[in-house]
Every structure is written in C-alpha cells, then in structure tokens.
Structure 1
Amino acid sequence: MRTVHAIQLLTLCAGISACNAAGHTLPDTPAADVKAAAPATVGEIPLPAGYARIPQAPGTFGAWLRKMALKKDHTVYLYDGRRKANQEAQYAVLDISVGDRDLQQCADAVMRLYAEYLYTSGKEQQIGFHATDGTWMDYASWRQGYRFVLQKGKLSKQRLAQPSIDRVGFMQYLQTVFAYAGTLSLSRELQTVEATREILPGDVFIRGGSPGHAVIVMDVARNTAGEKVFLLAQSYMPAQNIHVLKNPAATGPWYPASFEGKLITPEWIFSQSELARFPG
C-alpha cells in the first residue's frame, strides 16, 4: 500500500476474495476461446459464440481501448518487479508501464488509460482530474510549469517549473495525480450509467472510498438477441500491471451484462449501481 499523506488525501483500494462466491455463467463461450493463439490486442480477444463487437467510431475512447496492445507474457508484476502473489485473476496483461512507485493502483489505472487516450489523440487540453480534496489538477497548467503543492492540509497550484510538453513531464504529472486522487475523487467525476444493458467500452465499475476499487470496461460485444457481454481490466494494490480479468464463472474473460445483483470479479464484488462513465 502506498504511503498515506498526513491529510489522508489518498483513497486506497482494498480487496475481498470472490473465489468462493457464485459467479456469472457465460455458457456460450467455446473451448476454442481458451485454445486460440494469444491475442495481440484487446480487439483480438476471442468472442463467445454468436457475438460481435459493437461498433466504435474512430477517435473514441472505446476504439482506442480496443487497439490496446497485450503482452505475450501473461504474468502480472508489481511495481518493484516482484510477481503478484495471485496469478489466477488475469486473462491477459496490457502492454503499458506500471512505474517504479506504488502509485498506479486501481482508480489510477483507469485515469492512466483515459489520460493516455487523450494524450495520444491530441486532446491534451482535456486532461485533468480532481484530487480527493477537490483541487482540479489539469495537465494544461502542468505544461505551463504549474505544480500542485501540499500546504496546510490542501493542495495549491504554484508556478515552480519551466513549461514542458514532453512525455517525461506528462508521466510526472500522472504520478502527482495518482498520489492525490483515488476512487473517491474519480467516482465524483463520473456519471452514473442507469442500466448495465447500456454498458459501453470505457465505462467504469467503481466504488469510491476506503476500501474502494475500480475496474474499466475494455470492450463490449452483442449477439443478435441484443444481449451484451463485456471485458474488464484492473490494477490493484500494490501497484501492478494493468490486466484483463478472467470471469471466475466462465472459461474466458467475458462477463454478461445481464448479471443480476452483484458483479463478481476475481478480486472484488461490485453492484449494478456502481457502473459509471466519463462525461462528454
């Protein structure tokens, strides 16, 4: 667990075991999904029989997530290079850095992916997140040399550095966001999705607080009857590789959107009411 600042701004993830709980069966998942060659991107992850990926317009967050590269090695490593103790939760591992500090945990992984999408899409002016104390930490200010400094129990924005637009500065900005934002602050920024049948790539199941957790919807598919299935990805604590989750009740990683009551993932249980979406 990362170090907690004196004013306890950090909202940390904490887990519960779902290994012995009843899951959400997806009987249509064929054995071929398990035996197929390892996919190179999220969009290549095999589908359950009878399903097709829902269309995503070019340039959208969902389209970007679908192109996310996957590592050939399915091992999840912690930020310090150690193997994660639980190697049974992941179906695949995203090819994106975790950093060398215990910062990129659950909500941080969601913010990392959304910020990377905006950054690589030329939408840098839209990058920004609230700290747990409510301070707006925008990347546009960071690029101009402003930094977010803890003073008297609250963050303040001060111009302390030279303007910088390179990727090194972008990653330094994200490290600061990860240190002062978390599930609670992110949950306040997202908009509730009223029904799981409306689920889309880029949506987030999130429980704000301490303990809290967040997982992101990486892809969504639908069959001819209109039934949807979706993929989830997470980081956890300690900070670790972002990974696509297995469905504990199925042979593959797809979860049915028709689940009732609780969404059971390998390391957390969410409710239907905890589905949310980035505004805009």
Structure 2
Amino acid sequence: MKTLVKSGYITLLLSAFIYCTQLVNYPTYTHHNSLINENGTNILSRFDVPKGFKRKPVQQSSFSYYLQNLPLKAAGAKVKYYDGSIKYKDVYEAVVDIDIDNKNLQQCADAIIRLRAEYFYAQKAYEKIAFNLTNGFYVPYTEWMKGNRVMVKGNQTYWQKSATPSNTYKDFRKYLNFVFAYAGTLSLEKTLYPKDFSNIAIGDVFIMGGSPGHAVIVVDAAENAKGERVFLLAQSYMPAQEIQILKNPNDKSSSPWYSANTIDEVITPEWAFKTSHLKSWESK
C-alpha cells in the first residue's frame, strides 16, 4: 500500500489504495541466454533480437528511442526495493539504472508515469507532463512549476498557490511523488487508448486497472520479414522497487523477448494480461 503524503494541511484521501497486488505466482528460472550481452550498458546493447528479427529505426527525439536507450545496471545486479532491501525473486533479466525514492511510492503504474515524465522533462516539453489522479483531477506539471499545489476541501479538489515557482529537477521529483501517491493503474488506464495487439510498439502499455491491478511497458520491439513482432517488457511492482526488464517465463530460448504472434495473452512472471489490455498514449 502506498504511503500517503500531505499537501498543505490537507491529507488527500483519494483512492490511493489502487495498487499492484500479486495475482498469480508463475515459475521462475535462471539461465544464460545467447541473446544477452552482459557488457551492454543499455537496452539496445544488452539485448540482441532473435534470429530473423530487426529493430525498426526510430527518431532520436522519440519516446521509443528514450526507452531503448535506458541505462542498465551491470549484468547480475539485483533489484532494490525502496528501503534498500533486495528483490531476490528471479523474474527479471536486467535492472534499469534509474534511482528510486526512499518512500513506498514508485510501484507499477508509477514507474510508467516516471518514464513518460522523465522523457518529457529531458525534452523540456513541460506542457506534456500531466496526469490524472484517481479521483479524475487533472494535474499538469506546468501548474506545479508556478508554485500551485493541489488542495482538497470536502468533495472539491483545486489548485492553490502555496510554493515558490520552480522548475528544478528536485521539485519535478516532488511533483512525481505527489502523482505517485494519488494516481495508479485505474487512473492511468482511463487516460490511455486501446491498441491492436498486432501493432504493438515501443511505449505501449499493458494495463489492468483496479485492485488488484498492474501495468508493464514495452521498452523495445523488433519485426521480421513476415511482419511478426517481438517485444521487451519493463515493470516496477509492489512494494516500490527499481524498474526491471522482465524475463519471459514461457519461452526460455527467446527470453526476455515476448512474441506478439503466437499468444492470446501475455503471461509475465508476476502477472497475466489479456492482449486486450494493451494501450497506447496516442489515439491513433
């Protein structure tokens, strides 16, 4: 469960209990795979595509490029929880080298929000950093930059000027922590658009909103001459933990790649999604 924070004198008691809860325990394993380059420092260089597949070129300014180039910790690194303890469960192939706050906030949907927001922040596209809270209240980062903060009075949620205008990275992270506390799979799912599974692409999200609920993001993809696709998935989980590249528990030979051509559902080590759970940030 997420730890609640305060905004001014008001403790926001939105539906912060919409969190990632383990649905099914799937078997895990340890293996060495020829598709993995242990010296690779990012997703592109760490993971070779399966035989016959190629990555499509993407623009360097795109979200796809950002995800493909996420830095990875050294091969063999273990995922850390927000409190510094280790996640020993053998469900991930690599750990994304992005820091995590020492509060139990960056869980499943939050990690996806984090990646999307970090991308736009790096692009200085601050007007595109905006998310809905679970109660539907819209929280654009541009309002936070002005020194406005979210307040709640009765059934009303509103902005109030209560801080010095700022756009430092430290204040940006405070904004994210606020969003993490009061958004989740349910609110994120409502802002995304249905996506045809056969057209799966980098940046798409498998999401099942609710309690329990979970979400994972496509961080790389490749295609063969027949138009068949494979993809990599990343997640955080509960309690809050570092972002990790998931293993494929159903196909050791191609893990961590998942196939979009021979399955009706996507079974990850800690969650099972229907292909209809695939969503996109864009309406087309």
Does TM, scored on the shorter chain, surpass 0.5?
yes
8 Å contact kept, 1:7–1:153? no
Per the TM alignment, residue 41 of structure 1 is displaced from its structure 2 partner at its CA by 0.6
Q: Residues 174-216 of structure 1: CA distance to partner in whole angstroms, max 9, x if unpaired?
A: 00000110000000000110x2120110000000111110000
Aligned pair 1:277/2:280, yes or no? yes
Q: Percent of pairs identical after alignment? A: 41
What is the letter of the counterpart of residue 168 of structure 2?
D
Per the TM alignment, residue 83 of structure 1 is displaced from its structure 2 partner at its CA by 0.7
Aligned pair 1:15/2:22, yes or no? yes
Aligned pair 1:3/2:3, yes or no? yes
Aligned pair 1:203/2:204, yes or no? yes
What is the letter of the counterpart of residue 61 of structure 1?
F
Kindly report structure 1 stretches of 4+ aligned residues shifted beyond 6 Å. none
8 Å contact kept, 1:191–1:277? yes
Per the TM alignment, residue 17 of structure 1 is displaced from its structure 2 partner at its CA by 2.5
- Indicate the residue corresponding to 1:265 in structure 2: 268
CA distance in 2, matches of 1:235, 1:151: 32
Which of 132-141 and 77-86 deviates more?
77-86
Which of 88-97 and 150-159 deviates more?
150-159
- Indicate the residue corresponding to 2:157 in structure 1: 155
What is the letter of the counterpart of residue 276 of structure 2?
S
8 Å contact kept, 2:35–2:50? yes
What is the letter of the counterpart of residue 188 of structure 2?
L
- Indicate the residue corresponding to 2:38 in structure 1: 37
CA distance in 2, matches of 1:182, 1:232: 19
CA distance in 2, matches of 1:154, 1:74: 45
**RMSD of aligned Cα (Å):** 1.8
8 Å contact kept, 1:134–1:185? yes
Per the TM alignment, residue 132 of structure 1 is displaced from its structure 2 partner at its CA by 0.5
Per the TM alignment, residue 58 of structure 1 is displaced from its structure 2 partner at its CA by 2.3
Structure 1 residues 143 and 211: CA distance shift in structure 2, 3 A? same
CA distance in 1, matches of 2:85, 2:140: 33
What is the letter of the counterpart of residue 159 of structure 1?
K
Q: Residues 50-92 of structure 1: CA distance to partner in whole angstroms, max 9, x if unpaired?
A: 1111221221110111111001152011000011242x11110
- Indicate the residue corresponding to 1:221 in structure 2: 222
What is the letter of the counterpart of residue 2 of structure 1?
K
Which secondary structure state, in structure 1, belongs to the residue aligned with residue 216 of structure 2? strand
Q: Residues 252-274 of structure 1: CA distance to partner in whole angstroms, max 9, x if unpaired?
A: 21000114322100000000100
What is the letter of the counterpart of residue 42 of structure 1?
I
Per the TM alignment, residue 276 of structure 1 is displaced from its structure 2 partner at its CA by 0.3
Aligned pair 1:187/2:189, yes or no? yes
Per the TM alignment, residue 150 of structure 1 is displaced from its structure 2 partner at its CA by 3.2
8 Å contact kept, 1:115–1:127? yes
Structure 1 residues 154 and 49: CA distance shift in structure 2, 3 A? farther
- Indicate the residue corresponding to 1:247 in structure 2: 248
Higher relative contact order (CA 8 A, sep 6+): 1
How many pairs does the alignment contain?
269
8 Å contact kept, 1:74–1:91? no
Which of 164-173 and 58-67 deviates more?
58-67
- Indicate the residue corresponding to 1:129 in structure 2: 131
Per the TM alignment, residue 98 of structure 1 is displaced from its structure 2 partner at its CA by 1.4
Per the TM alignment, residue 18 of structure 1 is displaced from its structure 2 partner at its CA by 4.4
What is the letter of the counterpart of residue 275 of structure 2?
Q
